[in-house]
Each structure stands twice: as structure tokens, then as C-alpha cells.
Amino acid sequence: MRVVILGSGRGTNAEAILGAQSAGKLGRAHVVHLFSDQPEAGILALGPRFGVAADYVDPAPFKTKLEGEGEDRFIAAIRACAPDLVVLAGFMRVLKPGFLNAFEGKIINLHPSLLPSFPGLDAVGQAFRRGVKIVGCTVHYVTVDVDGGPILDQASVRVENGETAGSLEEKVHRLEYALLPEVIARLSER
């Protein structure tokens, strides 16, 4: 299964996937390309480290969504990789129907909450402010409904007394680093 990863930031979840691949724990999946919408994103530095192609794609003209010319550039770049799966690992843009239709049924996302609770930005902060006792992360298929696609799997952890927003975020990240590679491995065996 050919996998393309999209990310906007440090690339810690992409690194977890690539680490699982290096350790032989990604099933029949193989990451073939990393793409970012940020020219200086840390995810791009992972390419040389793991022997995977990594490229910046200009997302213009919009800052928070992928639409228009930027969407066309991303679609062309990803299609050239012939992916079986497109993984959003910290890709901070709303995807529009053109992109979703181009890779229908092939896009998954990692979200730092137990969906359907706390969709959107700052999910861990939302959960912390609400005082929930269980937090976690979700891997789901991407649809036109932001953070509303069918859920593939979830992982959770209890919020301890004295927890801070920062410590809670670290716990959720640790869950993400395990869950996302596991889901990709399972999908590769289908």
C-alpha cells in the first residue's frame, strides 16, 4: 500500500509512522512521499533521514483551506505518487470537495480528541477547559464534514488530578504516535 503523508508542522506523527516503517511495523504499507504546505516545516527534514521524498507544495492563494490553484497543485503532486492512502498528520488546512473527490475513500486524518467530542482547532485545550476525565485521539476517514468522517479507531487516557493543559497534550501525543501507525498497518492488510 503506497502512502503519502501531508503535514504542516514539526512532523512528529509522520516521524512515528516512518519509525514504525523502519522497524517493520507498518504492515504492507510503505511511505512513498511527504508533502507540506509550509516551506520550513519540520516534516520536510524527515525525508532525507528516512530515505523518503519530501517536498513543499505552494498552497496559495488561501491561508486556512486548500482550494483553487493550491488545491490543483496538491492534487497533481499527490496523484503523481499513485497513493493508496493519503494520511493527514498535522495538515492544518480544510480540504474542499475537489481534493476529497480526487482521493475519495483514501484520506485519513488524526485528530487529538475522542470524536465526535471537540472537533476543530485546540481540541486538547477544549477538553481541558471542559474538565473531562478521559481524553484521547481519533483516526478517521476524511469527508466534507470537518472531523466528521467515519471513525477507524480511537485511543484514550485518563486525566489525572493536577494535570495541566501541557501535560495532557503530551499524553495525547503519545497516544497518537502509537495509534496512527497501527491503523495504517491494519488498513494495509485489508
DSSP symbol at 81? T
Q: Which residues of 63-75 are buried (b: 16+ CB within 10 A; e: fewer)?
A: eeebbeebbebbb
Is 111 known to be catalytic?
yes
All 3 cell numbers of residue 148? 466528521
Nearest-5° Cα angle at 47, 88 to 180 = 35
All 3 cell numbers of residue 167? 501535560
Which among 146, 155, 161 has a CA at the least distance from the CA of 176?
A: 155
Q: How many whole angstroms separate alpha carbon 144 and alpha carbon 6?
A: 17
Q: How far is CA 92 from CA 3, 19, 78, 120, 129, in A?
A: 19, 22, 17, 10, 22
Q: How many whole angstroms separate alpha carbon 26 and alpha carbon 188?
A: 8
All 3 cell numbers of residue 147? 472531523
33, 111, 140, 173: which is the annotated catalytic residue? Answer: 111
**Which residues are part of the catalytic machinery?**
111
